Amino acid sequence: MSQSERKLHLNAFLYGTGHHEASWRLPDAQPEKNTDFRHVRTIAETAERGLLDSLFLADGYEGRSNRLEPFTLLSALAAVTKRIGLIATVGTTYNEPFHVARKFASLDHISKGRAGWNIVTGAGPAARNFSRDEHPEHDERYRTAEEFVEVVTRLWDSWEDDAVVNDKAGGVHIDGNKVHDIDFEGERYKVRGPLNIARPPQGYPVLVQAGSSETGKSFAAKYAEVIFTAQQTLGDAQAFYRDVKSRLTAYGRHPDELKILPGISPILAATEAEARELEDELFNLIDLESAVRRLSQRLGLDLAAFGIDEPLSVEGIRGTEQVNGNQSRHQLILDLIRSEKLTPRQLVKRLGGARGHFTFTGTPLQLADVIENWFRDGGADGFNVMPQIYPGGLDLFVDRVVPELQNRGLFRTEYEGETLRDRLGLARPANRLFPAAGAAGYEEVGGA
C-alpha cells in the first residue's frame, strides 16, 4: 500500500471518567457512572459517530478497579451500535482456551463480525484469586500464551465455514461431517473439541496484543494483527515500529498484516492556554503522597528518600529483568528517568496522565499535526486514543480532531465493509485445519 493510500486507524480506549488518574475528582466528573451502562453507551455512540475503528476495554483480575466484565459490557454495546469494533482484554494465565474461544465466537456472532481479542498474559499478581500460590514467571506466561492461542484458533477452525446447513427439506441443521475434533495435546493443554458454536463471522476475531517487552514483541510478530503500545517520543515509536514490522517475515507475514497503534492521551481545549490550565488542575488533584508511594512500590525503591523536586537516578531501582509483571512499562519509566532526569514530582505528573503513554496538551489543530507527523514519519499506523477526561475529551476529539484529519485525507469519511477486519484492511483467515470438505467429522444432525 502506498503512503498516499494509507489511512489512519483510531481506537477509543474506554476508561471510566478518563485516563488521568485524577479525572474522577474534577467538579463535573461522575465516577458513580463507571458501572452505568448508559455512560459507556454514550461514549460508544460518540466513537461510532466519529467513525473510529473500534472500542477497547482493558481488564484484569485483581485490585479495586470497579470495572464491568468485558464480555457482558461489549455484548450489550453490540446491541446498541452498528459498525464500530469491540475489543476485549482477556488474559491467558487464568482462563481456559475453550471458554475464551466460545465467548469470543459468541461476541463475534452477536456483533456480526466486530469482535477483537486483546491477548494478555496478566501483569498483575492475581494468583491467589485463582487457587494458586504464585504468579507465573514472565517468559513462562508467554509460553503458556502461545499454546493457549494455538488451542483457541484451532477451536475456531473446528467448524468449517459452511457447516451450518439449515436444510429444512432434508432435515439437516448442521452438517456433522464439517464439524471436527481438534485432538490437541501440548505441554499445558489437552483439548479434544470441537467448539460448540459455529466458526466466527470473521474467521477469527481480530487478534490484538499490548506487550512491548522482547518476548511480547516476538509474540506479536507471530500472532497479533493489532498492537497497542506506549511510546514517549516519535523516535521511540519509529524504532519500535521498525523493530516489530521487521520480525514479521520470520513468520511468513507482510508488514501490512499488523497495525501498530501507540497510545495518545490528550487534554484538549480551544486554546493551548486553556488546555494547560486544565492540565494543572488535574495535576493538583493528584494525591502526591499516595502516588509517590505507589511508584516506590513499583520501582522497588523508596522515593521518599529523595526530595520531591530532586532529580532521580536509576541507581537502586530494580532492573527490568527482575520485574514479573509489565516489563515494557517498567523499562519506559527507567528510560524517562535516565533521559530527562525527572524529579519524583515530574515523574508522577508524567505518569498520572496515562500511565506511561504519550500525553498531549493543546488544541485540536495541534493534536492533528502530531498525529499526522507520527503517521507519515513511520511511527504509527494509527492511534489508541486515550482521552484524559471522559466523556468530554472524546467529544472534542470526534468533533474537532477527526474532521481535521479527514480534511487532510488521513481518515475515512465513511465506514468500509461490514466487519472490524474490513475497517482494518485485514484479510479473513482461511480455516487452517479443514480448508476443504472431505475430512472425517460427525454425523449429520437434525433439529436445533
For residue 107, give the H/E element and its range: helix 97-110
Q: What is the pLDDT of residues 276-320, one digit of tens each?
A: 999 999 999 998 888 888 888 878 888 877 788 888 877 777 777
Q: Assess if residue 293 is contained within a domain.
A: no
**Whose grid coordinates read 463475534?**
108
Q: Assess if residue 203 is contained within a domain.
A: yes
In the predicted structure, residue 79 carries a pLDDT above the cut 80: yes
Q: Assess if residue 370 is contained within a domain.
A: yes
Question: By C-alpha distance, which of 391, 402, 384 is closest to 264?
Answer: 384
At 225 the pLDDT is 98
At 309 the pLDDT is 85
Find the CATH number of the domain harbouring 159.
3.20.20.30
Q: How many domains does the chain have?
A: 1
In the predicted structure, residue 266 carries a pLDDT above the cut 90: yes
Q: What is the pLDDT of residues 18-27, one digit of tens each?
A: 999 999 999 9
Q: What is the pLDDT of residues 389-403, one digit of tens each?
A: 999 999 999 999 999
Euclidean distance between CA atoms 74 and 80, whole angstroms: 10
Q: Would you place residue 448 in the very low, low, confident or very high pLDDT band (cuts 50, 70, 90)?
A: very low
Mean pLDDT of the chain: 91
At 39 the pLDDT is 94
At 434 the pLDDT is 87
Q: What is the pLDDT of residues 177-193, one digit of tens each?
A: 999 999 999 999 999 99
Contacts of 95 (CB under 8 A, 6+ apart): 148
Q: In the predicted model, what is the mean pLDDT of residues 124-135?
A: 81
Q: Assess if residue 212 is contained within a domain.
A: yes
- The whole-model pTM stands at 0.90
Q: Assess if residue 200 is contained within a domain.
A: yes
Q: What is the pLDDT of residues 28-54, one digit of tens each?
A: 999 999 999 999 999 999 999 999 999
Q: Assess if residue 279 is contained within a domain.
A: no
Question: By C-alpha distance, which of 261, 219, 265 is closest to 379?
Answer: 261
Cβ neighbours around 427 below 10 Å, total: 10
Q: In the predicted model, what is the mean pLDDT of residues 57-74?
A: 88
In the predicted structure, residue 326 carries a pLDDT above the cut 70: no
Q: What is the pLDDT of residues 192-202, one digit of tens each?
A: 999 999 999 99
Count Cβ atoms within 10 A of the Cβ of residue 423 and give its class: 0-12 exposed, 13-18 middle, 19 or more buried: buried
Range of the domain at 49: 9-272+357-424
At 2 the pLDDT is 60
H runs (alpha helix) in 111-213: 138-156
In the predicted structure, residue 414 carries a pLDDT above the cut 70: yes
At 437 the pLDDT is 47
Q: Assess if residue 116 is contained within a domain.
A: yes
Q: Assess if residue 184 is contained within a domain.
A: yes
In the predicted structure, residue 100 carries a pLDDT above the cut 70: yes
